[in-house]
Amino acid sequence: MTEPAQTVLPPSGPPDPVALLRTLVAFDTVSDRSNLPLIDWAEAYCQGHGAAVERVPDPTGRKAALLVSVGPFETRPGYVLSGHSDVVPAEGQPWSSDPFALREAGGRLYGRGTSDMKGFLAVCLALLPEMVAADLATPIHLAISYDEEVGCLGVRPLIARMLERVPRPLGCFVGEPTGMDVVVGHKGKSAARLTFRGRASHSALAPQGVNAVEYAARFIEHVRLSAETIARDGARDLLYDVPHTTGLSSVVRGGTALNIVPDTCSVAFEYRAIGADDAAALAAAAIGYATGTLAPLMRAGDPACGVDVEPLIDYPGLDTDPEAEIVTLAKRLAGRNGHAKVSYGTEGGLFERLGGVPAVVIGPGSIARAHRADEYVTRDELEACAGFVRRLIRTCTTGSASSSRGALPV
C-alpha cells in the first residue's frame, strides 16, 4: 500500500457528510465515463487524513478502484465498507434541478447517486478521521469500486488485490440503499444477447429463406416456458418479494421490411436466481438450446446461418446465513432485529464468492428512489448510517482513542 500523504487536505473541523456528498455528486461518474477525477480526489482526501490507500486501475487506465485501510491492516483481518463510485445516466429524465449539483429541500438531498450510493460513501469518508484517530485493534477498509451498474465489473480486481495485500477480512458491509435494514441475500443474475443469423429472401419465396425472427421467437418461447416451470414448480424463498427464480427476454431487434424474410434478429435475455438456483446454469441451458437445437436447423437451410452469443452480465447471488456472525454484528450496529432479502443485485455476492468474505447489504436511502429523476437521500438516513459506522469503529477499538493522525502503522 502507498504511504499516507504528509499534507492534510481536508478543512479544519470534522468533515460534514452533506458537504462531502455535495462534492461526490458533482463528479459525473456515469458508468460510460471515467471515474478518475473522483478517485483522484478521494485518494488525496484519504491520504491527507492519514489512511493507507491502494489504487487498482482498470486495463484501459480510464477508471480505478480504491482500497483504503485504517488500523493494523497488514497483520489482522478487519471489516470492509464497500461502495461503488459509478451512477446511472440522468439524460432523458425529468429532473427538477441539475442532477450533478446537490439540492436540499425539506431535509431531502437531491442528486444523482445520493441513494445509490454516494450517500454511503460520503458518510464513510466523513468518519474516516474518527477511524484514524481511534486505537483500532481490528482494521477497517473502505472499498470504492467502479462499473457496478454495468455488471459489478470493477469490484472483481479490487477483491483480488485486497486478498493479495491484507488478511482475508472478517466480513463486508455493502452500502446499497436498504433504509439501514439488514439484508442477508440478493438474487444472482446471468444475461446474454443472442443474434440469430438467417438468410434473407423475398417474402413471396419465404421457404427459400431462413427466418431469423421466427427462430428467435422459438428461443423466446423456450425462455418463457422455463420461467413458467420454475415459477410453478421451482424452489421458494419467501424473504424475496418475488419468491422464486425468474427468467425473461427483454430486448428484441430484427427485420427490415414486411416483404423480406429477416436475416438477423437479436434477443437479450436474463435469469435472476434465488440461492437454491444457479442463474448462470439456467442461462447456459437456454443458450445450449439455441446453439444445440435451433442453430443446426438454421444451418440445414444454409450452412452460413447460426447463432452468435454475447455475454452481458453475470454475477452471483448472496445468501448469507442469518445466524452468521456478520449478520449478528450488523443487527447490533444497526439496532435492528430482523433481516431481509432483495431482488436487485449488489457486489456482496462477489465478496463472498471471489473473496470468501461473508457480506451483509446495509446502507442509507431507498432502492425505490434509485435510477429515477429527483433521486434523494435524507439527512436522517445519513445520520442513521453514521451511527452504524461509529458503532463499528467502537467495536474495532480497544484502549483510549488517540487524537494523533500519525498513529497508523504502515
Residue 398, pLDDT score: 67
3-state secondary structure 1-56: CECCCCCCCCCCCCCCHHHHHHHHHHCCCECCCCCHHHHHHHHHHHHHCCCEEEEE
Q: What pLDDT, on a 0 to 100 scale, did the predictor assign at position 310?
A: 98
Please report the beta strands in 208-323, taking only residues with DSSP state E, as ranges in sequence order.
246-254, 260-261, 264-273, 306-315, 318-319
**pLDDT, tens digit (0-9, with 9 covering 90-100), for 109-161:** 999 999 999 999 999 999 999 999 998 999 999 999 999 999 999 999 999 99
Place of cell 468474505: 357
Please state, in angstroms and rounded to a whole number, the distance separating the CA atoms of residues 348 and 68: 18
Contact between 170 and 356 under an 8 Å Cβ cutoff? The reply is: no
Q: Tell me: the pLDDT tens digits for 287-299?
A: 999 999 999 999 9
**Mean confidence (pLDDT) of the chain:** 93
Among 126, 108, 184, smallest CA distance to 381 is for 108
Between residues 9 and 327, the one the model is more confident about: 327
pLDDT of residue 403 exceeding 70, the answer is no
% of the chain at pLDDT higher than 90: 92
1 band by pLDDT with thresholds 50, 70 and 90 = low
C-alpha angle with apex 348: 346 to 354, nearest 5 degrees?
Answer: 120
User: Counting beta carbons within 10 angstroms of the beta carbon of residue 150, is it exposed (0 to 12), middle (13 to 18) or buried (19 or more)?
Assistant: middle
320 pLDDT more than 80: yes
Q: Cα–Cα–Cα angle for 109, 365, 271, nearest 5°?
A: 130
> Is pLDDT of 169 > 80?
yes
pLDDT band at 407, cuts 50/70/90?
Answer: very low
Question: Is 322 buried (19+), middle (13-18) or exposed (0-12) by CB count in 10 A?
Answer: middle
3-state secondary structure of 208: helix
**Rounded average pLDDT over 50-79:** 97
Helix 325-334 vs helix 379-395: crossing angle, to nearest 10:
130
141, 73 in Cβ contact below 8 A?
A: yes
pLDDT of residue 25: 98
Res 343: pLDDT:
86
pLDDT, tens digit, 9 for 90 and up, residues 181-197: 999 999 999 999 999 99
Q: Across residues 226-231, what is the average pLDDT?
A: 98
Residue 10 pLDDT = 45
All residues at 6 or more sequence positions from 322 whose CB lies less than 8 Å from its CB, including other chains = 184, 339
Identify the three-state secondary structure at position 65. strand
What cell was used for 98? 441539475
With a CB cutoff of 8 Å and minimum separation 6, the contacts of 408 are 4, 50, 51, 52, 70, 71, 132
Share of the chain above pLDDT 70, in %: 93
Please give the average per-residue pLDDT across 201-206, as a whole number.
Answer: 96
Q: How far apart are the first and last CA of the chain?
A: 8
